[in-house]
Amino acid sequence: MTQPPIAVVIVNYNAGALLTTSVRAVLSSSVPVEVAVVDNASVDGSLAMLRAKVGDDPRLRVLENRSNVGFAAANNRVLRTVDATYVLLLNPDCEVRTDTLERVWQAMERAPEAGIAGCLVRDPDGGEQVACRRSIPTPWRSLTRVLGLNRLFPRDPRFQSFEQRLQPLPTEPVYLEGISGAFMFVRRTAMDDVGLLDEGYFLHCEDLDWFMRFRHAGWHILFVPDAEVVHAKGACSNGSPVRVLWHKHRGMVRFYGKFFRHAYPLPMLWLVNTMVWVRFAALAVLSAVKRFTAGLFASGAYRP
């Protein structure tokens, strides 16, 4: 079979040395690739390091934004112009294996009805990452999780969690409602049909939005279990955790309103949205306390 060109788009924001590691791993793939790194005004020297280590590779191009325009807008800058048969949206803190792209590409070639594919995403310690396999977090599923109903009634299908990592890993490619947004292998013709990422999301939930739109357009989402990537989750967001939490929770509210406002009674959506913001407030306070405490220890102001 003729191997098609695969375009890999990596959006970088202060990923440090992980960016170079990620790009090098992609360039070592067993299939032909081209790589576009879109930088959202990083200030950590990650681009300089990349150029020093890999800058002379003709398969790599770097685009620099003057400000942090967000994940969706940065990806779309490349997606509007790419000509490859397949496009991989890859996080800069992900390291693929040599055969990862080839395995996913082969699975997509065998499943022409699949519009997006994901692979087995592992934490650095080897465990399967939380969002690797998932159902769509509908308002009902989110509510049952917050209330703990999925733990109280683990066998009741009405209260199942949207996370699937505790289920047995399939031995063959399977269709799911969602895969990890850190690795999204997209068929170009399907993307042309569905459209680009929604730039109304700044960070987080644009992947869920895409999954919904692909499925509504009749495309399937494929999970390929024998292809792997290691994801050092959160490397680009450690510097501003509360800001990232804000965008994540704001994205969930936008996602619910966009796809479920006619499927649920308004009082329930109001309740779910209220719980989203209560959760944000609690996590933001916890994050602030942790950073303040860590600062005290670092400065030596507190000695137990």
Q: Check residue 152 and give its pLDDT.
A: 77
pLDDT 10s digits, 54-71 = 999 999 999 999 999 999
The label of the residue with tokens 């620099």 reads 64
What's the whole-model pTM score?
A: 0.90
pLDDT 10s digits, 109-130 = 999 999 999 999 999 999 999 9
Q: Check residue 187 and give its pLDDT.
A: 97
Q: Is the pLDDT of residue 200 over 60?
A: yes
Tokens of 100: 């990862």
Cα torsion angle, 201, 207, 212, 215, sign: positive
Q: Is the pLDDT of residue 2 over 50?
A: no
* Cα 99 from Cα 28, distance rounded (Å): 9
What average pLDDT does the segment 152-171 reach?
80
* Cα 256 from Cα 139, distance rounded (Å): 7
Strands 6-12 and 33-40: parallel
Tokens of 106: 């082969």
Reported as type and span, the H/E element at residue 282 is helix 266-299
243 backbone dihedrals φ, ψ, rounded to 5°: -65, -40
